[in-house]
A and B are shown apart, each in its own frame.
Chain A
Amino acid sequence: QKEVEQDPGPLSVPEGAIVSLNCTYSNSAFQYFMWYRQYSRKGPELLMYTYSSGNKEDGRFTAQVDKSSKYISLFIRDSQPSDSATYLCAMSEGEYNTNAGKSTFGDGTTLTVKP
């Protein structure tokens, strides 16, 4: 079983829809939780990150971390065609842990937002 499982998709939604992207994990040592967006032929772009539990909001994006359930989510409100990309969740252990520096990525979910 993988340490990080991401809902595979692909996901296709109409413009304006609310999108929910999700990952589960098994390693309780994870403390940093990231979402990256990757457009075709580009590198991943850091969208949001959360340290430990809780919610974080940035414009149309909300990241949620539930450490008790080992579950993280990214919500996109009022989705736009420009949001069409592959979304990668990633997690890493704390600074002083053995695996510091080794982010574990989900396999990615490809989202298409149709006009």
Chain B
Amino acid sequence: DTEVTQTPKHLVMGMTNKKSLKCEQHMGHRAMYWYKQKAKKPPELMFVYSYEKLSINESVPSRFSPECPNSSLLNLHLHALQPEDSALYLCASSRGGLSSPLHFGNGTRLTVT
């Protein structure tokens, strides 16, 4: 088990649906991240929050909307996704600053139909 918990583990959604991915960590880490990983590829950075403020948006389409309600929680709101958005969505946190090593959750496997 990891100390970064992601829900749901699996999600199937249609292109007109709205859904949210959730991430929680109780390690006191102050930076939290969303990554997207396609099969047999490394994780790709999407968003970074530092002290609950959005620090980095890697030019992600607006159909992905992040939210950081507090220092332990991170959400990713999904709307009007495309089939090519199907992937493993990983949440991570880091203890120190933004360059510290990452602690990943086990991800949400998303399928867009």
Task: Give the interface of A toward B (CB within 8 A).
Answer: 31-32, 34, 36, 41-46, 49, 88, 90, 92-95, 97, 100-103, 105-108
Contacts and interface: CB of A to CB of B under 8 A. Distances in A.
Given A42-B106, A101-B98, 4 more contacts: A44-B102, A46-B104, A102-B45, A102-B48
B25 to A, nearest CB: 12
Contacts of B106: 41-43
B14 interface: no
A88 B90 contact: no
Interface of B: 2, 4, 6, 31, 33, 40-43, 45, 48, 50, 55-56, 58, 88, 90, 92, 96-107, 109
B31 A34 contact: no
A101 B56 contact: yes
